[in-house]
Amino acid sequence: MRWFSALQDAIASLAEFPARCPLAPENAVIHFEVRHLLYGRRPHVYRILFTIKDQTVYVLHIRHGRRQPLKH
């Protein structure tokens, strides 16, 4: 339960300054900007994939860091 609560806090932190996160590898193959926030410690790192439109952050997917990037 603590892990999930901390994940929610990490996602909520995107409300303050989402552009601090780097572009995701998927950004090269998707027709809109995709960024990612890394959450967790190795080997259990997760990538929170999201996009920003106007003043809203949309979480697109949460993936384990060892999985291959999404392909279009």
What pLDDT score was predicted for residue 15?
Answer: 94
**Domain count within the chain:** 1
How far apart CA 72 and CA 56 sit, in angstroms, is 23
Q: Is residue 70 part of a domain?
A: no
What pLDDT score was predicted for residue 57?
Answer: 97
What pLDDT score was predicted for residue 72?
Answer: 60
Q: Which pTM was predicted?
A: 0.87
Q: Is residue 50 part of a domain?
A: yes
7-51 pLDDT tens trace: 999 999 999 999 999 999 999 888 899 999 999 988 889 999 999
Q: Is residue 52 part of a domain?
A: yes
* φ/ψ bin of 40: left (φ > 0), alpha (ψ from -120 to 50), beta (otherwise): left
Q: Is residue 71 part of a domain?
A: no
* φ/ψ bin of 65: left (φ > 0), alpha (ψ from -120 to 50), beta (otherwise): alpha
Q: Is residue 69 part of a domain?
A: no
Q: Is residue 72 part of a domain?
A: no
The single residue listed with the structure tokens 């993936």 is 63
Q: Which domain holds residue 51?
A: 2-64
